[in-house]
Structure 1
Amino acid sequence: MRRLRRAAVLAALVPCLAAQAPAMAAPPHAARAGAAKAAGAPAAARARDQVTIALTRMTAKVSAAGDRITVTGTVQNNTGKAVPSLGVRLRFSQQRMTSRSMLDQYAATQPYNLSGYSPTVPAAGAVPAGGKQAFRLSMKATALGVATFGVVPVGVEAVNAAGQPLSGGVTSFVTVAPKGRRVTPVKIGWVWPVIDRMHRTNDRNFTDDQLAKDVAPGGRLAGLVAAARGSRTPVTWAVDPALLDDVRTMATGPYTVRPVGTSITKEIAPTAKSAAAAAWLGDLKTAVGSSPYFDVPYADPDAVALVRWKMTAQLKAAYAADNLQVAADVLGRPADARIAWPVAGLAGRGTIDQLTRLAKIGKGDGALLLSKQMFEDPVTGYTSGATTTVPTSAGNRTAVTYDDELSRIVSQDDGAPGSAVLVQQRFLAETAMISAETSVPRTLVVAPTRHWSPSRQLASGLLAASSAAPWLKAVPLDTITRAAPEPRQYAGYADANERNELGGPYLAEVRRSLVKGSDQFSSIMVPPAETGYRKGVLRAVSASWRGHNGRAVRSRDMLARQLAHDMAKVGVLRTVISLAGRSGEITLTVANDLPPGRRIKALLRVESGNRAKLQIGRIEQPHYLEVELNGGQKVAKRIPVQVSGNGNVTVHADLVSPADGRVFGPGQDITVRTTALGRTALLITGGALAVLFLGVGVRATRARRRRKAEAAVDGSTGGMGATAVVGAGLPGAGPAGAGFPPDGGDRLPDGSPTGFGTATGNGAGAHAAPSGVPGAHAAPGAPPAAPADPWRPAEPDRTGDGRPSGGRHRGGNGG
């Protein structure tokens, strides 16, 4: 029984739901097609419809019953065959929209869900397959049956000869604003983004030349600037200094386009400077004029991801004054609006704190530009104002919230035929509905997506509508910033948003392969010279890489290869040094092979790998020498050393930043071959040589004496009691002591030693020649003695009967 009651209730609700939500009553294929059109679906998705209707013009609003609603456009036959009686007509509803959600529902439906229709206007003839036919439809506003301020749906559909609707119609809206009816206008402020994706790796290499097309007439950026320049509607410009830096590089040229994947050493012909880039910079400066503008941090980094993965140093670098200066240089003045705009207007508490501090947003000075998703909507029954407050670690700060639905609508791709008209009509309908909700004065902010790519027609039309619509009042953003804030509850950053951020592994590789090396490189450069890699790191963490993972990885890896290649051009050259001696100097060569003008200044730090064997410097280690080189130069530096041993010693040399002591690169290991001897080894060697020379000298002296003695001996000593006296070179006896020195020394008359000493024994004071000495003469009457062998011991003295005398012959008479 309970089930039957539930079924009856549901059956009764179905007609009510169908009446309140036309989209639900539409056929599934029609609902999907309508939703695709509302989202700016590409032409390929629309090709499934039987016809394609493209509006070229549509009445935006009517102010009196007698006004006419006019629509012009074209219809294209997609059936694959000729349609002989193709007709076009208007569809409308007399039901006024009562909420913004109803606009969503009707925008997603086919026109045949609208009850009223105008007479059919047939084509001039059969429309062939793929052929187009222009149309112009018109009807009086009285058909709408609405006399009060509001929005009504109006559509265009095609029918066949039987009057059956063909899929592919479009539904739009017309605003009824009767004259004399007071409407409280909503103050609307526009944020006009001049931001682009990244086109460079380091400062010298572009990865593509798309930017040259975007700034040329008809390009995306050219259309944005031209639309704002030709409008009187105030806008607040959001400018990325990195984009202006890129365009200025192209304008001053030449510049190099090196596509991702190209070898970093390949020679590429430079591209001539771009006249279109120079013209665009001039147009931008004129368009901005005195209008307020604010800088997004350089290269628009993904602030939420950087804070999450503890890379706030890169976020701080993006806000550095020298990185923001390029915008002031191009526009002729510094930014005068103090706004912090996180990507998609979404940020957690940590990111909000960082942005508040870096953008210098104080109490009552500046504001954060956030999505309304960050706050709970108050239960008021109408769209709340844009100004509120957000809690930070420094207290509450002003926050300006932009309407997400409006930003989504204006950011739709209007490349498909007729899309621009639909977007503009929906924008007017949405703002009219907001104004009609209440008479309470409110503010409204429209912030298109960062890489907004509208046609000039759409951008100009939106600005013109913001000023012309009686329910809107266009104001600069700072007017809204100063409005009284409405209290709202901060909802926080949803976890689901993390999947849109740059990932942790990607950022970890940026930190490993780029951050450290770029900081090292920049620390030794002499201003104003710069490596371009610190800015390259900021480009690598740009939020523009969201959703483009493959392209981001390839660009990051190419930048890492370029960094390693350039860092290898600066450093100490590898060599092998031979050193002889206990002390001396070694010579190290430092090279800077960067292009001219890129000057480096560093300290050459040298340290021995074995201090016991080789000492660097005269006092202590490590040893430092200042080095300053222009690009393309080399310098040789002499380093004093002291050696305490021999063999090979490794000396490590690297460059250090004189400012902060940051080490540049891995350094270089130098092999020093030492051949010096230690003090102990020198003493041992010197002593050995002295002993050797002394021994040789003694032996040489003895040998000379022997040769002289042998030459002088002509006999040997004889009988006992005879005393042989050597005269002055004559045979026979002579005076005692004749021929000897006065002191009785054993020397010959010429002063040379005799080889024997003073005689002893019974013949005291007498000298006898030893037997066997050449040149000696026996005493008279003594028999001649046989020559004695000077190397044999003397025989014992014997008596006359042959018996030993009891003593050895000692050169005199025995006792």
Structure 2
Amino acid sequence: MLPAALTAPTATATAAASLTATAAAPSAVASTSVAKATTTTAATTAERPSVAAADARAVVQLTGVSPAVVAPGQPLVITGTVRNDGTTPLARPTVRVVAGSMDNTREAVRTWATETTPAQGEVIGSTRLKGTIAPGTAAGFRISMTGVASRRAEATYGAIPLSVESADSVVRTFAGYQRIKQYQPLAISWAVPLTLDPDPNLFGAGGTEREAAWTSALDGSSRVARVLDATQDAPVTWALDPSLTPALLPDPIDAGATGTQELALRTATEERITAQARRHTPWVLPDTDADLGAVVGQAGATGLVRDLVDRSADVAEALGGRADIAWPADGTYTARAETGLRQLFRVPSLAGQVASSSALPSGLTGLTPGAAQRSTTGLPLLAYDDSLSSLLGRTTSAQESVLSTQQFIADSAALLGELPGTSGRSVFVVAPRSFNPDPEATRRFFDTVQSLPWLTPSTTSTQLAEARRTATTQAAPVTRPTAPATTGSKPVLTSSRIAALEQTLRTVRGVAQIRDDGDEFARTWTRAAEQLVSTRWRSAPTAWNTLSGRVGAATKQTTTAVKVSAGTINFLADSGRLQITVTNDLDVPVEDVKLTVEASNPRLQIDSQPSVLRIGPRSRATVNVSVTALAAGLVPLRTTLTTPDGTVVGQGADVQVRVTPTGNWVYLVLGGVAALVIVLGIVRTVRRRPSRTDRGPDRGADPQTVEARG
């Protein structure tokens, strides 16, 4: 998201031109009607303020201003169309070109581009269209003017402010001119990110949604393809997210979820980047284009991001590029952040950082900092020019590119005019990560800029070498640039989210160890989790939530599907084995699952833990746990299922054991029975023996015998 300082003139200038089409063929200049597709595309910019209000009819659109820099005696030609957005025919409208006046400053250029009212000045060219323009159609115009290069006597080079008007429609633009070369040219270099869109369907489980997402991201009409088309012949450095070249990463990733169409598109894109890489001296960003601006200084983020940074070295070596340049998305620079970046970039060590020029102090009051800077600790800094970078980002359609090109001419001339006689000055221009160019219009933009006499081509390598030799500079007293060329606003990564993400990655790798499809599961969902660190989610925080939820659901599926069955067990012994059931509700087998059982009180002693388990898909297994009963009572068991690395899976089951050890009651019962038997025996004996009173004298017996018995 561009800040207000740059967004306002950009949007207003676009509105002034009523740039309602996303593309236009060169032949449209002379057309007497606007194609239906062009009219339909107007809905894409309907949110912008437009001079084509309901009561307006004539709408001016520019299709060309040539030459880029007009010389004395050379005519300036402006071409365009007048479109009738009204409901009644437009009879022979007049188009005029008014030359205004402005100071030769960058602020004056931005102010002129912002205005939408008719200009005060001299009409230097006009034409009246022939015939009538019917509602919904357009007619082309061409105005040729001479003497433009001589209009500003006070400066021998620069830009003339122009206003192209018809009725109430106004388009503010500029024309470059040069009579004499009285300056030292600026060296200019470029960098353009090659990164993915913030689409949560690009990563995670395979299927039709993922195939469709990769088709949208990489086919011939995709944003990535348009960036490649627009820059393949331009002198730009590519800043590459290794997610676009997965085969070059140290370990092939995400292969299991890749479909046929996705594989073909990713392979073709990678081959194209590889074939053209050496002419663009690529900077390989940390894998996934990790959001360095968000994670530097965040507790717990160093390990994860360091891994993503380390991977880029192999990709850079394969592409003939470098992986030692940091490009935080927000464009900020602070000494504290530099310390954090140095900790992340180890091999190779940090060699430079991209920063916004507004995050750095100017050498002299009111002047723009040069591209080559160096921090107080000696780190080379490449400071991109915020205003010029925003104009490159506006080359999204043929008509809009015309305005951005002409403003670029004027703005760069004003930048040169700050110190025109100073040699060795340089300017660095970057595109936003969301860069979505019209390829043909952007190629014309680069061709025009390369023809400007006050700019000489340079490279990012040359400017980094210059930065290593320049004097050190203090960071500006700001925490955020006033005008960063970035795609989003606030980072989505917070310290709590980083901590949660670290835990999620550990869980993904842990549960993969027990799944039969563990390698595929780990590659798919580890890759999806790593993508959550990317810069791209700044412009789509809701999409970040979507992908984060899917990663969490994938891990939760495993951790909840493998679980201990709840129940109550009656244990009637001093020692023995408890039987506990573990179920697997997944469609794949699990193995090496470890069950740990703990008694919540000392009534029951766990003598040994069960061996590791293998459970088939949608099956259950029964395990034996050796225990000793020490006292009677109810004992809740704490059960834990873990993977080999200790990752906890499964759900804590409510297993209750009613313990009744035999050592207490059996002996009492046996003792009681024994005592009862003795008592019963005595009672029976006593009952069987007769008393003397019941017996009479033993008649007939021998008297000795009777006496002896007595």
Fold-level similarity (TM above 0.5): yes
Look up the SS of the partner of 2:522 in the other structure: coil
| Aligned partner (choices 319, 324, 336) of residue 338 of structure 1 | 324
Give 1:693's aligned residue.
677
* Equivalence map 1:506-517=2 (5 Å): 507=494, 510=497, 516-517=503-504
Whether 1:616 and 2:596 are equivalent positions in the alignment is: no
CA gap 1:336/1:315 in 2 versus in 1, 3 angstroms: same
**Aligned residue among 701, 705, 709 for 1:767:** 705
The residue type equivalent to 2:343 in the other structure is R
Corresponding residue number in structure 2 for 1:650: 636
The CA deviation at 1:402 is 0.9
Shift of 1:136: 2.0
Q: Is 1:135 aligned to residue 145 of structure 2?
A: no
Structure having greater relative contact order (Cα 8 Å, sep ≥ 6): 2
**Equivalent residue pairs, number:** 655
Matches for 1:108-119 after TM superposition, within 5 Å: 108-110=114-116, 112-113=118-119, 115-119=121-125
- Give the C-alpha shift of residue 204 in structure 1: 1.6
Check 1:670–1:293 CA distance in 2 against 1; reply closer, same or farther (3 A cut). Answer: farther
Within-5 A mapping of 1:369-768: 369-379=354-364, 382-391=367-376, 395-412=377-394, 414-415=396-397, 418-436=399-417, 437-438=419-420, 439-483=422-466, 484-494=469-479, 500-502=489-491, 507=494, 510=497, 516-526=503-513, 528=519, 529-530=521-522, 532-533=524-525, 535-540=527-532, 542-546=534-538, 548=540, 552-553=544-545, 556-557=548-549, 559-590=551-582, 594=586, 596=588, 603-610=594-601, 612-618=602-608, 623=609, 625-626=611-612, 636-656=622-642, 658-659=644-645, 661-664=646-649, 667-677=652-662, 679-700=663-684, 706=689, 716-717=696-697, 724-725=701-702, 766-768=704-706
Aligned 8 A contact 2:633 2:659 in 1: yes
Shift of 1:601: 5.1
The 1:210–1:97 alpha-carbon spacing in structure 2 relative to 1, beyond 3 Å, is: farther
Match of 1:790 in 2: none
Q: C-alpha displacement at 1:545, in angstroms?
A: 3.8
Q: Following the alignment from structure 1 to structure 2, what is the Cα–Cα distance between the partners of residues 687 and 275? A: 84
Structural RMSD (CA)? 4.4
Secondary structure of the residue that 2:330 maps to in structure 1?
helix
Give the equivalent residue in structure 2 for 1:227. Answer: 230
- The one-letter amino acid of 2:241's match is D
Any unmatched runs of 5+ in structure 1? 1-28, 160-165, 256-269, 726-762, 770-809
1:716 Cα deviation after fit:
3.0
Output the TM-score relative to the length of structure 2.
0.78
Structure 1 range deviating more: 668-677 or 125-134: 668-677
Q: C-alpha displacement at 1:428, in angstroms? A: 3.1
Contact 1:39-1:412 at 8 Å conserved across structures: no
The aligned counterpart of 2:84 is 77
* Contact 1:252–1:273 (Cα < 8 Å) also in 2: no
Q: Given the superposition, is the C-alpha separation of residues 36 and 456 from structure 1 closer, same or farther in structure 2, using an over 3 Å criterion?
A: same
Provide the rounded CA distance (Å) in 1 between the counterparts of 2:10 and 2:647: 63
Alpha-carbon distance in structure 1 between the residues aligned to 2:189 and 2:578? 70
Aligned residue for 2:639, secondary structure, equals strand
Matched letter for residue 386 of structure 2: D
Secondary structure at the counterpart of residue 768 of structure 1: helix
Cα distance between partner residues in 2 of 1:625 and 1:328: 42
Offset of 1:139 from its aligned partner? 2.4
In the alignment, the residues of structure 2 paired with residue 299 and residue 354 of structure 1 have an alpha-carbon distance, to the nearest angstrom, of 19
Identify the structure with the greater helix proportion.
2
Identity %: 20
Distance 1:145 1:153, change over 3 A: closer
Counterpart for residue 32 of structure 2: none
d(CA) in 2 for partners of 1:368, 1:38? 37
Give 1:86 deviation, angstroms: 0.5
Looking at structure 2, the residues matched to 587 and 464 of structure 1 have their Cα atoms a distance apart, in angstroms, of: 79
1:90 is aligned, of 97, 103, 117, to 97
Which runs of structure 2 are paired with 1:155-234 in the superposition (5 Å)?
Answer: 155=162, 157-159=164-166, 166-177=167-178, 181=181, 183-200=183-200, 203-204=204-205, 209-229=212-232, 231=233, 233-234=234-235
Separation of aligned partners in 1, 2:367 and 2:17: 24
Kindly provide the CA deviation profile for residues 146-169 of structure 1, in whole angstroms up to 9, marking residues without a partner as x.
Answer: 68752223535344xxxxxx2322
Q: State the Cα distance separating 1:682 from its structure 2 match.
A: 3.4
Structure 2: runs of 5+ lacking an equivalent: 1-7, 21-44
Distance 1:398 1:39 in 2: 42
Cα separation, 1, equivalents of 2:591 and 2:157: 69
Change (3 A) 1:126 1:63: closer
Q: Distance in 2 between matches of 1:244 and 1:298?
A: 10
- In structure 2, the residue corresponding to 1:345 is in which secondary structure? coil
Mapped partners of 2:392, 2:19: distance in 1: 10
Question: Highest CA radius of gyration, 1 or 2?
Answer: 1
